Amino acid sequence: MRPGLTAAGLITLAALLGAVSRQAETAAQLLGLTLSGVLFATGLAVALTGNRESLFRLDHFFPFLNRKYQPQHFPTRFGRIARRFLPQSLFFDPATGRQGAVRRALRWLGPSVISSPFRRVVQGAFFALFLVLFFYVCWPYTARPAGDGAVARGGMLERIDEKTGHLHFNGMPLDESFSVGKSVFLVDEAAPPGATRTVAPFTLVATADSAPVLAPLGELSPEQFDRILLGTGPWALHTKDPEGWPSHYTDDLVAKERIAAEFFLIIDPLVSISTGIASRNWVWSLTCAGVILLVCIYIPRGFCGYLCPLGTMIDLFDWAIGKRVKRFQVAGEGWWVHIKYYLLIGILICAVFGILVSGTFSAIPVITRGLLFIGEPLQTGLQRGWHLVPPMNTGHLVSILLFAGVLALGLLRPRFWCKYVCPSGAVFSVANIFRVSERKVETSCINCNKCVEICPFDAIKPDFTTRETDCTLCQTCGGVCPTHSIKFVDRWDISNLKTLNVPPTGETALGRRGFMELWAGMGAAVVGATALTGVTRTWGANLSDPDSFRPVRPPGSVPEQEFLQMCIRCGECYKACPNNVLQSQGFQQGLEGLWTPVVNADWAGCESSCNACGQVCPTGAIRALPIEVKKSTRMGLAIVNEKTCLPFANREACQLCVDECNAAGYRAIEFTQVHTQVDDKGLPMEGTGHLAPVVLLDKCVGCGLCQTRCYGINVEEKGLLKESAIIIVAGEGKEDRML
């Protein structure tokens, strides 16, 4: 038997996709080309040589039922390697017939675990990875502000070296935070209020005797040079720019994101395929979807059997609840067995009409949104306080019911969703047409039916051969076969195979349910997709009406029409957003806007040091903006209601919005004098009038911090207003949205 690819190696290839990010698409393309080359070489070798022996074996199951042990025919390569390097007490003893410690432990866990432990280990590892990415990497509250850094004050400029351009100061003692070669910022301590204090960054050349010597990091502009030359001091050195833009939320996400937070979303191919069709745009995650489909050519539907966290959660539900409730169970034969294909057809038809509904049914959005609306409030309440949990709306309840329904389908049959309903699984089933590996059954099969009983994906026919489009190569069946008749090899291996259709299966080439059911299902898919498209268009965003609802979207969002066609409603951006600025939209835009992210500025404002929403978006509906670009990208415009604003209404002085805007670094609101009384000479009377806020249109980015402050103090705490007197609005000319 020729040495070839192993299942472990292929699963590792899938894991490597975690390193794929928007900056590493080339790596994904190279991996795809590599796998394509291997596939081509394999097919060419078969075509040229006519070889029908196995090119490779992927056996990694653990024999659950033993026959007499024969060293030269140990049933799996995995077992032979393990027996060579591990203690013999762990394995079956052929002399005494005693079970090994490994087998005894796995038997206690259950037949599916003992028969395919490798698959269960991989499955558990990826489920744990999903939980880490969701509850830790996307949890923003591990971020801490960087602080002000070290400061040395009181320096005076002594001279500027004409040859080197170095600046020599004196009277500026430095502590151990300042060392030669360190970057520092020169700050003008005598700068007037409101003026820029930081002059330029420098490198410390010398630090002795309170006389630091600085070398410019880059060429100084004439304005910077004149300011240094004409300045009177005193000067200060800072290890951190005191006027620099904060970035601690961004830095924290980058530090934790060893694997992309959206890893599982970008390898769910239905997410990117449907998004690309609906938006008529190239979606960056299509590259990753292509790679995982190539990997699954070698491990058919390996995503479903090994990687999918929703499948693992369904397994846990079936183990804990489903197997104990028998009254709702249905037979394995029925109209429901091909729902996933009809659902996939319907989703793609909707996408062709520009309606994206795949996020409602795709495997990974279903579980991320379910954990978002159930697990995230628990995490926030327990770790930060229940008062910080945003209120629920009708959309939350609909999503929770959908998630619960997916799990509850396990009451009908184990893994009912994965077998018959999941459209993401249907994509992989279609891709199985191009598989290069298969489950095969040899002539030693004794028709015991054990493989049919234990198969978690209903992938074994009554004649014990394989339904290739359903098989995930989980290899559970191989472990329970008493005669070791099952092998997992390349699809061209036809040696020593059992006779097909013995016993008769009653299945046709079109599937188990026949030609009429196929066309009836496809007709239902077309009619359902057309009706859903019509309902969504009728009860949708209605963007042609200038008076229709315009939600404030996250910074970097694409234009609204494309946003509704590209947002997969996964909820990843809500999870990564600090202070729950982004919240789930209800039915304000009908079905079209359901579960899309919207800024709730009454609850919180957009943090100036965060750009997480764009970094974790799997489809590009929110563009990944660098923090320097994000700080100047408009997401809306602050509008002051002069009828209710306290200074404008001449009720009392208030400058909450101005203070909040200045503290954030935007300085987009300034004061104007209102209600000033004048005397007989026309001169303003002292003590009359108020300073009222005026928004500077060229500086406001619509972060909402002003609205949050006004609402929190004047509405909730003092009860002076019924709603915030300054609000963020979106629409034409008020936001920067581009593809």
CA-nearest of 620, 615, 723 to 286 is: 620
pLDDT band at 26 (very low <50, low <70, confident <90, very high): very low
> Domain 151-245 carries which CATH code?
2.40.10
Q: What is the pLDDT of residue 88?
A: 73
Token reading at 434: 């191009």
Q: Determine the Cα–Cα distance for residues 322 and 412; give it in Å rounded to an integer.
A: 8
Name the least confident of 70-79, 195-204, 535-544.
Answer: 70-79
Q: Which two tokens stand for residue 726?
A: 């300054």
Distance CA 619, CA 262 (A): 10
Asked if 361 and 343 count as a contact pair (C-beta separation under 8 A), the reply is: yes
- 4: confidence class by pLDDT, cuts 50, 70, 90: very low
User: pTM, whole model, 2 decimals?
Assistant: 0.83
201/208 Cα distance (integer angstroms): 20
- Per-domain residue ranges of the chain: 151-245, 637-729
Give tens-digit pLDDT for 347-383.
999 999 999 999 999 999 999 999 999 999 999 999 9
Type of residue at 306: Y
Query: How many CA atoms within 13 Å lie on the side-chain side of 219?
Result: 2
Averaged pLDDT for residues 450-470: 91
What's the whole-number mean pLDDT along residues 481-502? 88
pLDDT of 319 above 60:
yes
Q: Can you tell me which residue has the tokens 């057809």?
A: 345
Task: With CA atoms as reference, report the closest residue to 658 among 706, 594, 720.
Answer: 706
In 3D space, the residue among 483, 450, 451, 438 whose CA is nearest the CA of residue 73 turns out to be 483
What secondary structure letter does DSSP report for 198? E
Report helix angle 363-383 to 423-431, nearest 10.
Answer: 140
How far does Cα 120 stand from its chain's mean position?
Answer: 24
Q: What's the pLDDT band for 403 if we cut at 50, 70, 90? A: very high
Nearest CA to 117 out of 610, 491, 465, 474 is that of 474
pLDDT at 500 (0 to 100)? 87
> What is the three-state SS of 589-640?
CHHHHCCCEEECCCCCCCCCCCCHHHHHCCCCCECCCCHHHHCCCCCCEEEE
Domain 637-729 carries which CATH code? Answer: 3.30.70.20
| Residue 266 CA: distances (Å) to CA of 136, 278, 553, 570, 652 | 19, 17, 22, 11, 53
CB-based contact 416:405 (threshold 8 Å): no
464 burial (CB, 10 Å; 0-12 / 13-18 / 19+) is buried
- pLDDT, one tens digit per residue, over 597-610 is 999 999 999 998 99
Q: Phi and psi for 421 in degrees, rounded to 5?
A: -115, -40
27: left (phi > 0), else alpha (psi -120 to 50), else beta? alpha
Per-residue confidence band for 729, with pLDDT thresholds at 50, 70 and 90: very high
Would you place residue 87 in the very low, low, confident or very high pLDDT band (cuts 50, 70, 90)? confident
DSSP 386-451: GGGSPPP-HHHHHHHHHHHHHHHGGGTSTTHIIIII-HHHHHHHHHGGG-SEEEEEBTT-----HH
Residue type (1 letter), 354: G
Report which of 395, 446, 131 is spatially closest to residue 263, judged by C-alpha positions: 131
Closest CA to 632 of 738, 735, 552: 735
What is the per-residue pLDDT across 211-239, written as a single tens digit (0 to 9) for each? 899 999 888 888 888 888 888 889 999 98
- Mean pLDDT, the chain, rounded, equals 85
pLDDT beyond 80 at 313: yes
pLDDT at res. 49? 44
Write down the residue that tokens 């003992």 correspond to: 114
